[in-house]
Structure 1
Amino acid sequence: MELLVALDNSEPGWAALEYALAEHPEDDLTVVHVADLTRSGYGEFAHLGTEAMHERQRADATELFDEARERAAEHGCEITTELLVGQPASAIVDYAAERDVDRIVVGSHGRSGVSRVLLGSVAERIVRRASVPVTIVR
């Protein structure tokens, strides 16, 4: 089975990866992270420019993927990683459809504070748009 794990640098995101590694060790796991330039901090585009923002997000994703590979190795698994660019929910759903993924695993939310009580908007959009089963991990 082909599993797609959507990973951000949040506790539920890491829980989603751990779940996939523990429950599907024999399956093919692809871990994706989405670089979303629309989520940059105030003034970053003006100060750094688009290319610098892309480079910063690529570097952050490299660190995230290195950690994901280490965690996979602890489970005796190998993973494939892919950096996507765009709106997270759309990029994840489109990637899954293009690659004939059998299931998407995603953390319940990537936010903190009061909004942690609710299902994250990205996870909700993935559930609504995906044509394959979606497992949401808290």
Structure 2
Amino acid sequence: MHVLVPIDDSDPAMKAVEHAAETYADGTVTLLHVINPRTGMYGDEALYAYEAILESQQEAAADLFERASELAAAHDCDVHTESIIGFPAREIVSTAAEEDADHIVIGSHGRTGPSRVLLGSVAEQVVRRAPCPVTVVR
């Protein structure tokens, strides 16, 4: 079984890692971090800002993978890591399809009411568009 676990630096994401490690320790668990650098600048400033943001987020992703891998190792689960650039929900669904994932385990940020409607929820978009079953961990 191949399980895809999208992660960011949130507590729900780390709980999703633990859930996947406990439940699918005998399978293949892939931790996926989507880097989504956004800037509000234009021209040369935008290019410089994009590169600086991208570099910073890639460094943060390495730390994030280290922390998540340690959580998984505590449950005797080996993980693979993958970092890509793009819009999170779209990239998660696309990666699950391309890698023929059997299951996605994703953390929920627990937004409710107007903030969920205005901001949207990556987990909700993934649930609606995923090519495989999805478990949302709170």
TM-score (structure 2 length as normaliser): 0.86
Q: Quick check: 1:87 aligned with 2:87?
A: yes
Question: What's the offset of the Cα at 1:115?
Answer: 4.6
Q: Quick check: 1:8 aligned with 2:3?
A: no
Q: Deviations over 1:25-82 (max 9, x none)?
A: 11100000110012x5x66x65952111111010000000011111121111110000
Name the amino acid aligned to 1:3.
V
Question: What's the offset of the Cα at 1:121?
Answer: 0.9
State the percentage of identical aligned residues: 47
In structure 2, C-alpha distance between the alignment counterparts of 1:131 and 1:78, rounded to whole Å: 24
1:1-138 equivalence runs, <5 A: 1-38=1-38, 46=46, 49-109=49-109, 115=115, 121-138=121-138
In structure 1, C-alpha distance between the alignment counterparts of 2:46 and 2:90, rounded to whole Å: 26
Name the amino acid aligned to 2:105.
V
Q: Deviations over 1:85-128 (max 9, x none)?
A: 1100000000010000000110112769x858xxx610010011
Native 8 Å contact 1:7 1:107 kept in 2: yes
Point out where structure 2 has 5 or more consecutive residues left out of the alignment: none
Point out where structure 1 has 5 or more consecutive residues left out of the alignment: none
Q: State the number of aligned residues.
A: 131
TM-score (structure 1 length as normaliser): 0.86
Q: CA RMSD in A?
A: 2.2
Question: What's the offset of the Cα at 1:84?
Answer: 1.4
The 4+ residue runs of structure 1 with deviation greater than 4 A are 45-48
Q: Structure 1's 111 and 37: CA in aligned 2 closer, same or farther, altered over 3 A?
A: farther
